[in-house]
Structure 1
Amino acid sequence: MKRIFFSTLSLILLLGIPTVLGVLVGISTLPLRETEVVKIINIPPGTCLNKLSSLLCSEGIIRSKHIFSLLVRLKKADIKIKAGEYQFSNRMFPAEILSKLIRGEQVKYTVIIPEGLSITQIANLYEKVGLANKDKFIRLANDPQFIASLGMEGNTLEGYLFPDTYRFTRYIGEKNIIRCMVQRFKKVYGEEFKKREQELNLSQKEVIIIASLIEKETSCPQERPIISAVFHNRLRLNMPLQCDPTVIFGLNNFNGNLTKEDLKTPTPYNTYLISGLPPTPIANPGLASIKAALYPADVDYLYFVSKNDGTHYFSSTLKEHNQAVYTYQKKWDLGKDKLNNGEK
């Protein structure tokens, strides 16, 4: 190997850099293998050129780490190479490999964020696919200083991490993931929505809180504007919202079974005990629920009860609601406070 290096160095001194570079480029256009093998190569941040060349060689992507290193140096590209995960083939030419590294043409991972997830659930999802540290993600999403740097207000980004399909590279980092999701929210929540919130005499925060309640109450598209109307009507009449998902959000270690005691547990999110909206959104709503919050149906409903088929029965009076509870929830304990007090 030393002979190859010194021979190459002598060649450079004898023929000059441009000529030798031409020779190397010519060599780099020679095919490597008859049988193609495709590999994902991870190049961590801070990887030096020698380690990079050795890695590519050991993975069978290049034949000579010395020739590749020399090619990089001659093109003064060592500081231009970007860390990340790359897909390479052993039939790629060294010049192609270098070009890909310089462009930062990394493998991108598709992540689908469903509507209605909380910050914690989103953080878990990103950690599961290896794109973020869950604890760091949660910490940043609740850091007032970082939130302010995004042009947002408040102590949490709950409600503003817009659910969508995203494509991220391995080392994008938690800050950039959050920044991208907030930017997507801002793009969706445009001038039309801002104008509409003023017509309703609501702030953006209040709209997103209502949207998050709608998101957690139903997955039925036709019901969203109707459930929105129930919340708007109750707010107008200063009635407690009595929204189960808000109670669940405020509980620590919820086990999946909402009890009568849970409904009596004081938290800032228990809308059976507090008036008006909870202090923050309880989830990150999608576009349909945001639209529903801004454009409620023109109905006078004040109550709804699950029909146990993914839809709800809506009522305008307590008497009708109680009958609906008996009809659709007769297997439940009818002595619950939810029935006696006219709760949903």
Structure 2
Amino acid sequence: MKRILLALGASVFSLALIGAGVVMWGMNALESYGKTPLNLQQERELDVVKGMNARTLGKELMKEGLLSEGWEFDWFLRLHPEYAGIRQGTYAIAPGDTLVDLFAKLLDGKVKDFSVTLVEGQTVREWSARLKTAARLNWQEDAFLAVLKAEGDSSGLPEGKFFPDTYSYHAGQSVTAMLTQSYRKMQQEIEAAWKARSSDSPLKSPYELLILASIIEKETGKADERPLIASVFINRIRLGMRLQTDPTVIYGMGERFNGNITRKDLQEDTPFNTYRIDGLPPTPIAAPGRAALMAAAVPAKADYLYFVSRNDGSHVFSKTLSEHNRAVNEYQRKQK
């Protein structure tokens, strides 16, 4: 009897050892399962929508072939109950990411960042076209005007009032939040430029500075020329000369502009034709960047009244009309 009991005890002990071994093997297998890379060849987006939990996420991963089907996922979740707290959003997953890596992102809410660049020197119409096609951005018509209204800007004129920069957002985010950030940033930049303006500046308001900066932005992309371009316009304003700048004419033409300005265009009466009006146009003609704003605020100390393009991105500056005409003949009419 004693031998039977000893044998039975030994059997139970052996079964316990085997059971413990199976459990350890299972836990190790599940840990290994969680550290195995997902079936992914290139980076892609993963949407965790409202109402999706860890279990339904697993089914979606299997459906899309990112995770092999089997018993492991359900048991993996039982081993890690903390994974029940995943957050909704759009996430980026890349080759080499494991199930553990994925859940770490989902628990921390590390959603994918998207970005869009609002280019300096472009108009609200051009920005609207860009924002409409921005990936996963919630575009709304009249978003620019909605921001102006919300910010208490009673002018209702959005041109030039939004700062050009690269802005980040999350999938599905409203464009209004981005434009609000852009508007407020432009207000800060204008205020800084206005405070830094030359003591003898003829500009009467921050808005006039913004208008001039937009013209400077359109006239040159060369950083070292902006203060010189600004000096020409400031000198003309002081002397009561018309600005006679082509970008304002082009802006006034709107969608009619086909790449060329004719003599008839220069003679057309529009609020933006600075060959026909005195002083600045009524609004900015584009979105100026920080450098153009500062150039308008602190122009170069120079006596230039004219400039003409060399057709290589740079300009020739002149103090007199005769000098300017010679430069026009050389660089525009190709006459020596």
TM over 0.5: yes
CA distance in 1, matches of 2:332, 2:211: 28
| Paired residues of 1:163 and 1:285 also in contact (CA < 8 A) | yes
Gaps of at least 5 residues in structure 2 are: 1-25
CA distance in 2, matches of 1:267, 1:47: 56
Three-state SS of the structure 1 residue aligned to 2:209 is: helix
Aligned twin of 2:47: 43
> Match for 1:224: what amino acid?
R
Give the direction of change, closer, same or farther, for the CA distance of 1:90–1:304 in structure 2 (3 Å limit). closer
Confirm or deny that 1:303 pairs with 2:306: yes
Residue 258 of structure 1 and its aligned partner are, at CA, apart by: 1.2
- Could you tell me which of 85, 108, 112 is aligned with 1:77? 85
Instruction: Provide closer, same or farther for how the CA distance between residues 66 and 31 of structure 1 changes in structure 2, counting only shifts above 3 A.
Output: closer
Give the structure 2 partner of residue 19 of structure 1: none
Q: State which structure, 1 or 2, has the greater radius of gyration over its C-alpha atoms.
A: 2
| Displacement of 1:61 | 4.1
Q: 1:263 to 1:34 in 2, by over 3 A?
A: closer
For 1:206, the equivalent position in structure 2 comes to: 208
Partner residue of 2:247?
A: 245
1:123 corresponds in structure 2 to 128
Aligned ranges 1:254-293 → 2 under 5 Å: 254-293=257-296
CA deviations on 1:42-95 (whole Å, 9 max, x unpaired) are: 4276564476554333234456776789899977636xx23224325675235x
For residues 212 and 331 of structure 1, the distance between their equivalents in structure 2, rounded to whole angstroms, comes to 30
Q: Give the letter aligned to residue 214 of structure 1.
A: I
> 2:34 maps to which residue?
31
Q: How many residues align?
A: 302
TM-score (norm 1): 0.73
Contact persistence 2:274–2:280 (CA under 8 A): yes
Instruction: Go from structure 1 to structure 2 and tell me whether the alpha carbon gap of 1:97 and 1:178 turns closer, same or farther (over 3 Å shift).
Output: same
- Deviation of 1:292 (Å): 0.7
Pairwise mapping of residues 91-106 of structure 1 onto structure 2 (< 5 A)? 91-93=97-99, 96-106=101-111
The answer (yes or no) to whether the contact 1:36–1:91 under 8 Å persists in 2 is: no
Q: CA RMSD in A?
A: 3.5
Match of 1:215 in 2: 217
Give the secondary-structure state (helix, strand or coil) at the position aligned to 1:107: coil
Q: Distance in 1 between matches of 2:249 and 2:46?
A: 44
Unaligned 5+ segments in structure 1 are 1-22, 333-344
The letter of the residue matching 1:270 is N
TM-score by length of 2: 0.75
Does 2:332 align with 1:329? Answer: yes
Does 100-109 or 253-262 show the bigger shift? Answer: 100-109
Tell me how far 1:245 sits from its aligned partner: 0.3
> Aligned to 1:43, what secondary structure does the other structure show?
strand
Kindly indicate whether the alpha-carbon contact (under 8 Å) linking 2:164 and 2:287 is maintained by their aligned counterparts in 1. yes
CA–CA distance in structure 1, aligned partners of residues 179 and 67 of structure 2: 37
- Maintained 8 Å contact 2:116/2:168: yes
Kindly indicate whether the alpha-carbon contact (under 8 Å) linking 2:50 and 2:88 is maintained by their aligned counterparts in 1: no
Identity of aligned residues (%): 34
1:135-284 equivalent positions in 2, closer than 5 A: 136=140, 139-141=142-144, 143=145, 145-150=146-151, 152=153, 154-189=155-190, 191=192, 193-197=193-197, 199=199, 200=201, 201-253=203-255, 254-284=257-287
Q: Structure 2 vs 1, CA of residues 324 and 190 (structure 1 numbering), >3 Å: closer, same or farther?
A: same
- The question of whether the paired residues in 2 share the 8 Å contact of 1:197 and 1:207 is answered with no
Task: Quote how far apart the aligned CAs of 1:156 are.
Answer: 3.0
Q: CA deviation at 1:247?
A: 0.8
Match of 1:20 in 2: none
